[in-house]
Each structure stands twice: as C-alpha cells, then as structure tokens.
C-alpha cells in the first residue's frame, strides 16, 4: 500500500497559537524526516553519548527495551547492536518507516509498533525492563493531562522494577537565560542551524535550517526540569536521578540536555 505523505508542514494561520499534543504527527513530514539524520549525525552522536545508556541499562540488568520515541531508529539500532532486545514504537508513521529502513541498512529488522504514548497499553501488552523516551521527545505533549496519561502508560508497561529513561532540553536555561547550544551531545550535525524562533512559558518554537535552504519547525512545550521530575514522582516513580549532559554533577544553566532516570522499584518508606 502506498501511503500519501504530507508535503509541507502546516501550523495554521498563527503558528504561535499551535499548541496541541497531536500536532507532532503533522510536523514530522517526509521531507523533515529525511533530513533528521543530517541533524543528529549518527556517528557524532554515538561518539558523544558514548556508552552512557548501554552501561546504565546493563548495570540495572535490563534485557528488554521499549524505545517509545524511536524516531529514525538511532537508539533502537545502537541498543540492538549492544545485545538488547528492542521494540521500536513511535506515533509518526513517517519516522517508523525511516527507522525500519535505517535498521535494514545496519543489517537489522526492527520490530516496529505505530502507537501514541497516550494509549500505549492499547497496542502494547508486554512488559519491559526499560522504556527509553529520548531526543527531547516528551516535550511534544502540550496538555498536562496528556503528560500524566503518557507517564502512567509508560509506568504500566514497565516490569515491577523497571526503569524509564526520559530526556529533555534544558528549558530552564532557555527560558531564564537564553538559548545556547554547543551541538555537542544530541543534535550533532554541524551544517544544520537550530534555534528557538519564539519562546514563552507555554511554547518553544524551534527552527531547523538545512544547507539546501529547506527550513522546518517544531512546536514544543518548554518543560522545566523540576516540573518533569515532579510529574515522574507523582505517577509513582519513587526515585528519579537527573543527569546534565550525561554528568551526575553540573551547574544548572550549563547542560544542553537533562536525562531523567526514573526507577519503578518499590522502596519501603524510611521511618
């Protein structure tokens, strides 16, 4: 079956008013998805993040991983190659098609599931040792009830002592200090210009300009670090460790990205 993919991003008459959770599906159009790997630059990203995720998952005895924001498949492929059993999920069919093609190019058949996080358990019935939601993906949820619902679905899909690894841009720094990125860790492509075009407490609209003069945008919700940590705790994760650009210690405004590692394992309350 041939799928007719949308040709242009459509943010409506007033792009700054476009603050809807489901809109991500219309942002990851084929043209942008085909450029995504230029933006992330697989080799540089693999070099910069090193073994952080692989070692952390191994240390926690993880075998089965659900990559809920598979995108073009970068982490799914890396983790398969490191020996993990991976299922790759995403709400964008364009992204999943690209992930599958990238998997094939690396000699793997990705197990893909097209699903939105808000109703993950409708389509995913297994339980996983870990869920990863990486590359500043959770930011696509605009309504607080969608964030709570998605986290509750992740929690339910984890084994009793599973791990959720979820990252985000350092929006505190963007909101309070201004944007600066060293392109060091995540979106490593050096020929792509990435910057927020507009920011307020309810919207971060990022502009991505490529060497062929094509320009795309993403509208995202600027998650403050403390807020994300609180939501994780409120859905039931008893312990949340937050790293800044893969380091345990950092100055708050310094990192480009925060990585939250949320533990589901039940801990007796200390008396």
Contact residues for ligand SAM (CB under 6 A)? 24, 28, 40, 69, 71, 74, 90-92, 95, 116-118, 134-137, 140
Asked if 156 contacts 122 with a C-beta cutoff of 8 angstroms, the reply is no
Of the pair 22, 214, the CB lying nearest ligand SAM is at: 22
Asked if 23 contacts 219 with a C-beta cutoff of 8 angstroms, the reply is yes
CB of 114 to ligand SAM, least distance (A): 9
CB of 159 to ligand SAM, least distance (A): 21
Of the pair 117, 128, the CB lying nearest ligand SAM is at: 117
Token pair belonging to 172: 């505190």
Of the pair 35, 249, the CB lying nearest ligand SAM is at: 35
CB of 175 to ligand SAM, least distance (A): 19
CB contact burial 225-245 (16+ within 10 A = b; e otherwise): beebbebbeebebeebebbbb
Of the pair 135, 196, the CB lying nearest ligand SAM is at: 135
Token pair belonging to 65: 């991983």
∠ Cα 57 58 59 (to 5°): 90
Phi/psi zone of residue 15: left (φ > 0), alpha (ψ -120 to 50 degrees), beta?
A: alpha
Three-state DSSP class for 205?
strand
Closest residue by beta carbon to ligand SAM: 135
CB of 268 to ligand SAM, least distance (A): 34
Of the pair 20, 265, the CB lying nearest ligand SAM is at: 20
Token pair belonging to 91: 């709400």
CB of 269 to ligand SAM, least distance (A): 33
């Amino acid at each position: 079956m041939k799928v007719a993919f949308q040709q242009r991003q459509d943010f409506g008459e007033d792009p700054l008013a476009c603050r809807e959770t489901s809109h991500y599906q219309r942002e990851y159009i084929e043209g942008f998805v085909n450029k995504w790997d230029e933006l992330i630059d697989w080799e540089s990203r693999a070099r910069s993040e090193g073994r952080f995720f692989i070692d952390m998952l191994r240390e926690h005895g993880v075998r089965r991983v659900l990559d809920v924001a598979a995108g073009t498949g970068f982490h799914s492929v890396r983790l398969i190659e490191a020996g993990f059993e991976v299922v790759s999920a995403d709400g964008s069919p364009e992204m999943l098609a690209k992930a599958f093609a990238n998997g094939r190019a690396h000699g793997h058949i990705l197990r893909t599931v097209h699903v939105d996080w808000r109703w993950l358990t409708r389509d995913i019935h297994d339980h996983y040792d870990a869920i990863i939601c990486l590359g500043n993906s959770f930011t696509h949820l605009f309504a607080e009830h969608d964030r709570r619902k998605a986290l509750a679905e992740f929690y339910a899909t984890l084994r009793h002592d599973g791990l959720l690894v979820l990252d985000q841009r350092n929006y505190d720094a963007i909101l309070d200090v201004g944007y600066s990125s060293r392109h060091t860790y995540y979106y490593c492509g050096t020929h792509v210009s990435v910057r927020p075009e507009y920011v307020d407490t309810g919207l971060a609209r990022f502009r991505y300009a490529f060497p062929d003069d094509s320009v795309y945008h993403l509208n995202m919700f600027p998650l403050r670090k403390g807020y994300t940590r609180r939501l994780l705790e409120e859905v039931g994760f008893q312990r949340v460790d937050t790293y800044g650009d893969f380091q345990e210690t950092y100055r708050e405004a310094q990192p480009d990205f925060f990585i939250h590692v949320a533990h589901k394992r039940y801990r007796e309350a200390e008396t």
